Amino acid sequence: MNIKSKSYAAQSATTPLAPFAIERREPQPKDVVIDILYCGVCHSDLHQARNEWKSTIYPCVPGHEIVGRVVKVGRDVTRFQEGDIAAVGCLVDACRTHPNYERGLEQYSEPLTLTYNSEDKHLGGVTYGGYSETIVVDEAFTLKVPDKLDPAAAAPLLCAGITTYSPLKHWNVGPGQKVGIVGLGGLGHMGVKFARAFGAHVILFTTSPGKAEDARRLGAHEVVVSTNPAEMEAHVGSFDFILDAVSAQHDINAYVRLLKLDGTLTIVGAPEHPLPVEVFNLLLGRRRIAGSAIGSIAETQEMLDFCAEHGVASDIEIIKIQDINEAYERLLKGKVKYRFVIDMASLKQEAAAS
Ligand code: NAP
Ligand code: ZN
């Protein structure tokens, strides 16, 4: 029998998120049933709930930074048992024959089953995310949460964490390098923490001068207010690597100019509209612009284990699900320190009351 689960959904690009009843599939032999404790609020949730990427199917239940307790496992599950704290990120399945899947890079395989807004191969319709009481996921796409991690502060690691960890690793960020992180939001604050943990000299670029003190506390050696041309000019041609985690339109050329010979600007932010590139900035200095999407399941587990070992977690503000629409408005204004995490007990209480 399918499992009934309360959730919060957007019914259209312009309606606020509101209670919505969904079903989860009856667990299959390889499935793990997770009672969701916490779900982080990613800016991608907002982009998608409001159809900013023009690909949303409604109703849309967002949420891909999920931590919960395993309440049931299918008969062929080997890595999880009832009572474990488990996590789910942006992926719940993939085409398991794609060459990139075989390389262990399932996030770059096609077609992908994303945690929400993908075709649901089991129930038909669309997949529903973590703004919900329960989720059923194949164990191959379920992560183990180390005991040392606080479950609420671990939730944002499932997207904001891995999306910054993966490119910093891929481009070998480490000691002796000057590394920039652009935007101190959910992703950016994790980028600062990881770049610092990897031993780089870290400079945070922000449009919010009021975040400078926090940025230093989180691990930045220096802070540059990007709206101040003189501060930007002082760094031209000096960076090995810059990670851009900005959610809105902005001038990426201002950052390309800061790279040194063969330096790389990697974009992880996903604004609604294209970002123009001044090619001369690339030619002169053989600079590169690259992109990166989340990370693989194995790398996500590696990142969670790294966080447990090095005491890294997200700085969070816990909210009730009933406050999600207000949280989205604050997210749009860059007013979150530095990730909202929904305490899913608030949804259960609502379920009990109704
Ligand atoms: P967030 O918490 O809202 O942070 C975005 C930050 O960008 C803000 O805190 C702000 O930092 C800066 N910013 C906002 N508007 C700006 C503007 N107009 N000009 C310059 N800077 C601005 O968002 P998030 O959850 O970290 O997500 C960031 C982006 O990454 C989103 O577009 C999201 O969809 C995308 N994303 C991509 C992946 C991937 O796999 N590539 C995964 C997850 C999320 P300051 O106040 O410091 O300037
Ligand atoms: Zn995300």
Q: In what order do the strands lie in the sheet with 178-182?
A: 222-225, 201-206, 178-182, 239-244, 259-267, 288-291
| Residue 123 near ligand 1, beta carbon < 6 Å | no
| pLDDT confidence of residue 350 | 84
What confidence tens digit (pLDDT) does each residue in 93-118 have? 998 999 999 999 999 999 999 999 99
Distance 255 CA to ligand 1 centre (A): 15
Q: Do domains 3-157+315-353 and 161-291 have the same CATH topology?
A: no
- Do 52 and 43 touch, CB atoms closer than 8 A? no
Residues 6+ apart with CB under 8 A from 53: 47, 270, 272
Three-state DSSP class for 352?
A: helix
Of ligand 1's listed atoms, the one at least distance from the Cα of 188 is 26
> Which of the listed CATH numbers 3.40.50.2000, 3.30.830.10, 3.90.180.10, 3.90.1170.50 matches domain 3-157+315-353?
3.90.180.10
How many helices (H) does the chain have, and how many strands (E)?
A: 12, 17
- pLDDT tops 80 at residue 351: no
- Do 73 and 81 touch, CB atoms closer than 8 A? yes
Distance 43 CA to ligand 2 centre (A): 6
What confidence tens digit (pLDDT) does each residue in 27-74 have? 999 999 999 999 999 999 999 999 999 999 999 999 999 999 999 999
Domain boundaries, the chain: 3-157+315-353, 161-291
Q: Round to whole Å and give the CA distance between 73 and 245.
A: 36
Of ligand 1's listed atoms, the one at least distance from the Cα of 292 is 41
- pLDDT tops 80 at residue 179: yes
| pLDDT confidence of residue 37 | 98
ω into residue 255 within 30 of 0, thus cis? no
Span 208-232, average pLDDT:
98
| pLDDT confidence of residue 94 | 94
| Residue 44 near ligand 1, beta carbon < 6 Å | yes
Of ligand 1's listed atoms, the one at least distance from the Cα of 331 is 3
> Which of the listed CATH numbers 3.40.50.150, 3.40.50.670, 3.40.50.720, 3.40.190.10 matches domain 161-291?
3.40.50.720
H or E segment and range at residue 26: none
